[in-house]
Chains A and B, each alone.
Chain A
């Protein structure tokens, strides 16, 4: 599959995850968000940026339970809970936010 971003074609797998993580740009993130019917707010970006940092450090996309706990630790309890994260990303914070962040699907996610 391919995603068209500003006239450039970007390769994704059949579920829409980027084939090459290094190609990621903010513009690509916005385009993936549109395909997910999401409008990126500062709160959405906060989660995406957090995931990219987590991946940089540990080389994995965290499971949703781990993501929730880690967000709570870094950004505060009001954000480190399922309700908040599912409001931002209704189809699963780990799944959707990872896709927008240009990361692989979280390990263990089906």
Chain B
């Protein structure tokens, strides 16, 4: 089986709809098939990675810690759109750090999140074989 480049695009806030959680589950399940997986976060989707989420008041499971397991699943290309952060008054510091251990570099811990411009994001989408939008 040849490897395809999968890109999962996340555009919605984490709670209120089921899209964010469904996307995360599809990513985790898909990771078992050893494809080349990238994640993109834009528009309100950037809130999915926000630090310090609390869901007690809304009665939903807080699944934000699960994003930190993505590194274990070899999902370590996580692109966040700069313009979406800017429009919401957010910076990289407002997002929880996501890391992975680089097998080819003596298991050094590296950052998975990369902030990119709209133009770079378009290029990433262009180069993907399969784009799934949530």
Contact = CB atoms under 8 A, between A and B. Distances in A.
B50 interface: no
Interface residues of A, number: 12
19 contacts: A57-B65, A57-B68, A58-B65, A58-B68, A58-B69, A59-B61, A59-B63, A60-B28, A60-B66, A62-B69, A63-B28, A63-B32, A66-B73, A107-B25, A107-B28, A107-B29, A108-B25, A108-B28, A108-B29
* B: interface residue count bin: 10 to 19
Interface of B: 25, 28-29, 31-32, 61-63, 65-66, 68-69, 72-73
Contacts of A69: 72
Contacts of A10: none
Contacts, number: 33
Contact of B32 (A58, A60, A65): A65
B29 A70 contact: no
B31 A63 contact: yes
A62 B65 contact: no
A89 B68 CA distance: 27
Contacts of B28: 60, 63, 107-108
Nearest to B70: A58
Nearest to B64: A59
B58 to A, nearest CB: 16
B88 to A, nearest CB: 25
A44 to B, nearest CB: 22
B37 to A, nearest CB: 13
A57 B62 CA distance: 12
A60 B29 contact: no
Nearest to A57: B65
Nearest to A70: B72
